[in-house]
Amino acid sequence: MKGWSSPSSSRRIWKSILITVAFLVAIIYDLFVKALNALTLSVNAFTTLGFGEIPIKGIPRYLAIIQGFIGWFMLTIFSVSLISQLLN
């Protein structure tokens, strides 16, 4: 009967590398999804002030509202400067 034996050194190294890479991919994927959600909320707030399918509560909601007002203010400044350049 064959007993339990520890895997070879190279096999342990490859398993460690595989587990580390899988862990890093999971973390990077999670950060990418969070960054994409933040970008979606930012664009949504900057353009329409309608949150649509994105449920937010608390401080992020107020930050998105402030960002929306800043977006409309910048759009107004851009429009006024463009019209003044066209009229001159």
The domain limits of the chain are 9-87
Given this model, what pLDDT does residue 64 score? Answer: 74
Given this model, what pLDDT does residue 6 score? Answer: 72
Given this model, what pLDDT does residue 52 score? Answer: 62
Report residue 54 as tokens. 């994105």
The CA-based angle 63-81-51, given to 5 degrees, is 25
CA 37 to chain centre: 5
The CA-based angle 55-63-82, given to 5 degrees, is 110
Given this model, what pLDDT does residue 88 score? Answer: 85
Given this model, what pLDDT does residue 18 score? Answer: 94
- Prediction pTM value: 0.46
> Mean pLDDT in each 10-residue stretch from start to end of the chain (88 residues)?
69 90 94 84 69 68 77 88 91
Given this model, what pLDDT does residue 40 score? Answer: 77
